[in-house]
Structure 1
Amino acid sequence: MTNRLRAAVIGAGYWGPNLARNFAASEQWELAAVCDLDEARAAKVARAAGGADVETSVDTLLARDDVDAVAIATPARTHHPLVMAALRAGKHVVVEKPIADSAEAAREMVAEAAAGGLVLMTDHTFCYTPAVLKIRELVESGELGEILYVDSVRINLGLVQPDVDVFWDLAPHDLSILDFILPGGLRPASVAAHGADPLGAGKACVGHLYLPLPGGAVAHVNVNWLSPTKIRSFTVGGSKKTLVWDDLNPQQRLSVYDRGVDLRTQAADSLERKQATVSYRLGDTWSPALKEQEALGAMVGELATAIHEDRAPVTDGAAGLRVLSILEAASRSLEVGGDACVVEHEPELVGGVA
Structure 2
Amino acid sequence: MNAPHVADRPIGVAVVGAGYWGPNLVRNFQSSAEFRLRWLCDLDEDRARRVLGGYSTVQTTADLATVLADDEVEAVAIATPAGTHLTVAMAALQAGKHVLVEKPLAAGQADGRRLVAEAERRGLSLMCDHTYCYTPAVLRIREILHAGELGELHYLDSVRINLGLVQRDIDVMWDLAPHDLSILDFILPPGVHPVAVAAHGADGIGAGRACVAYLTLRLNTGAIAHIHVNWLSPVKIRTTIVGGSKRTLVWDDLNPSQRLAIFDRGVDVSTSEELGAEQRRDMLVSYRSGDMVAPALTEREALRTMVEEYARSIRTGTPALTDGRAGLRVLGILEAASRSLTEGGRMIELDLDEKGVA
TM over 0.5: yes
Mapping 1:339-350, distance limit 5 Å: 339-346=346-353, 348=355
1:80 paired with 2:48, answer no
Name the amino acid aligned to 2:65.
D
Residue segments in structure 1 that go unaligned for 5+ positions in a row: none
Distance 1:271 1:265 in 2: 12
Residue 201 of structure 1 corresponds to: 207
Shift of the 36–240 alpha-carbon distance from structure 1 to 2, 3 Å rule, reads same
Residue 277 of structure 1 pairs with residue 310 of structure 2: no
Is this contact kept in 2: 1:178–1:186, CA < 8 A? no
Whole-Å separation in 2 of the counterparts to 1:127 and 1:184: 16
Pair 1:94 & 2:112 matched: no
Secondary structure of 1:33 counterpart: strand
Offset from partner CA, 1:12-61 (integer Å, 9 cap, x none): 00000000100000111111110001111111222389541111100111
Counterpart in the other structure of 2:305: 298
| C-alpha separation in 2, matches of 1:287 and 1:10 | 40
Distance 2:104 2:202 in 1: 23
- Specify every segment of 5 or more residues in structure 2 that has no aligned partner in the other structure, as ranges: 1-6
Task: Supply the distance in 1 between the matched residues of 2:193 and 2:272 (Cα, whole angstroms).
Answer: 34
AA aligned to 2:337 is A
What does 1:1-354 align with in structure 2 at a 5 Å threshold? 2-47=8-53, 50-184=56-190, 187-266=193-272, 269=276, 274-346=281-353, 348=355
The 1:143–1:42 alpha-carbon spacing in structure 2 relative to 1, beyond 3 Å, is: same
> Do the aligned residues in 1 keep the contact of 2:191 with 2:354 (CA within 8 Å)?
no
TM-score (norm 1): 0.95
Aligned-residue CA RMSD (Å): 1.7
Separation in structure 1 between the aligned mates of residue 155 and residue 243 of structure 2, nearest angstrom: 5
Q: Secondary structure at the match of 1:257?
A: strand
Q: How many residues align?
A: 350
% same residue: 59
Distance 2:344 2:232 in 1: 21
Moved more, 284-293 or 110-119: 284-293
Is the Cα–Cα contact under 8 Å of residues 325 and 355 in structure 2 kept in the other structure?
no
The answer as to whether partners of 1:155 and 1:227 remain within 8 angstroms in 2 is: yes
Q: Could you tell me how far 1:143 is from its partner in structure 2?
A: 1.2
User: Which deviates more, 60-69 or 257-266?
Assistant: 257-266
- Worse-matched range after superposition: 105-114 or 43-52: 43-52
C-alpha separation between the residues in 2 aligned to 1:347 and 1:226? Answer: 35
Q: Distance in 2 between matches of 1:269 and 1:103?
A: 50
Amino acid in structure 2 at the alignment position of 1:333: S
